[in-house]
Amino acid sequence: MIQWMGLLFLAIGVIVAGIGVFVWLRHRSFMRHAEVSKGEVVEYAEEVRRSSNRTMRYYFPIVRFSTSEGLLEERSKVGTSWRSHKIGIPVDVYYLRDNPARFKLKSTTSILLSVIPVSVGIVFVAIGATLSGMFA
């Protein structure tokens, strides 16, 4: 029974760590091709999402920034449960030249979206390897 649970932990750990690596590789590819511009958050779009037992508010920054084509004002596709940047304060904006609507604001969130799953995956792999007797 314990060996079976170890294999389950091992499998879950590999999958979760794999998701983290995939997210990190996508972020790295985006950043390699991105242009950088100064911009500012001009306001937030607020969305309320309800599930069966709770209500969550998400804030999506609306960002104004310059591109080689001119001034652009776009809503971020990434929302958080807090207002991640102060309105009117300059921020670094990373965008793709051929598709400026695909942009990211400079923050640690993108890195955390890969570091956390990789870390959790490694812990699960270690627990799984121990329970399945790989270190015996």
Cβ neighbors of 86 (< 8 A, separation 6 or more) are 41
CA proximity to 26, closest of 120, 110, 127: 110
Q: How far is the C-alpha of 107 from the C-alpha of 121, rounded, in Å?
A: 23
Nearest C-alpha neighbor of 121 from the set 4, 1, 17: 17
Report the predicted TM-score, pTM, of the whole model to 2 decimal places: 0.73
Reported as a single tens digit per residue, the pLDDT across 15-71 is: 999 999 998 899 899 989 999 999 999 999 999 998 888 999 999 999 999 998 899
66-100 pLDDT, tens digit per residue, is 998 899 999 998 888 888 889 999 999 999 999 99
Determine the Cα angle at 58 with ends 39 and 99, to 5°. Answer: 40
Q: How many residues does the chain have?
A: 136
Query: At CA 115, angle to CA 78 and CA 80, rounded to 5?
Result: 20
* β-pair partners for 60: 45
